[in-house]
A = this chain, B = another copy of it.
Amino acid sequence: MTPSAQSTQPRRSDATRAAILRAARERFAADGYERATIRAIAADAQIDPSMVMRYYGSKEGLFAAAAEFDLRLPDLTSVPPARLGEVLVRHFLARWEGDETLVALLRAASTNPGAAERMRGIFADQLTAAVATFGSDPTLTARRAGLVASQILGLAFTRYIVRLPPMVDTTPDELVAWIAPTLQRYLTGTPPS
């Protein structure tokens, strides 16, 4: 190991690591877990397949590194309660349009148990935590978060994966206008009897 600083010293291979990660995200997003081969990812990164193994241990390890995802949810307590739905839809759409990590995770979660587990963790932890900032009943909170996840993931699934024409052609603003009231009710609506 380098004698001076241990962690702050940038390694020469960091560029390679980053190139692999970028290619991996692209391939996982485009093809899903099983069809995205290590050889193809390595070719995209212009590197030997064995390097992927050395730096990430295995295909699962590579995916784990490539599919790290933070929803980056804003602090919901500083949002006017009546606009929660609108803020959330807009945030998610913006968060996804420029980052293919979520698409990769979504595609992989359909067939790869580990990816599904990770997706469960993301929405159970991050989204439930954000929803829990208001409301006290944990069961109801979890249910609200689940319902929000169902509409949000359904939006992503139909727009980015299946590419249903009406969901692809509609502008983000129009989608927000339609879907915001749904999330608003899931978040703050009174539970049905």
Q: A32-B34, A110-B111 are in contact. Are A192 and B164 (CB under 8 A)?
A: no
Is the Cβ of B151 less than 8 Å from the Cβ of A153? no
Stoichiometry, copies per complex: 2
Interface string of A96-110 (1 = CB under 8 A from B): 000000000011011
Complex interface: stretch among A11-19, A39-47, A141-149: A141-149
Q: How far is the CB of A35 from chain B (nearest CB, A)?
A: 6
Is the Cβ of A150 less than 8 Å from the Cβ of B151? yes
List chain B residues, Cβ under 8 A from A192: 174, 177-178
Complex interface: stretch among A51-59, A64-72, A75-83, A181-189: A181-189
Is the Cβ of B166 less than 8 Å from the Cβ of A142? yes
Chain A contact patch, size range? 35 or more
Name the residue on B nearest A173 (C-beta).
Answer: B192
Q: A106-B110, A185-B182 are in contact. Are A146 and B123 (CB under 8 A)?
A: no
Bound CA span A97–B147, Å: 19
Bound CA span A146–B124, Å: 26
Cβ of A31 within 8 Å of any chain B Cβ, yes or no, is: yes
Is the Cβ of B158 less than 8 Å from the Cβ of A146? yes
Bound CA span A170–B143, Å: 8
Is the Cβ of A111 less than 8 Å from the Cβ of B111? yes
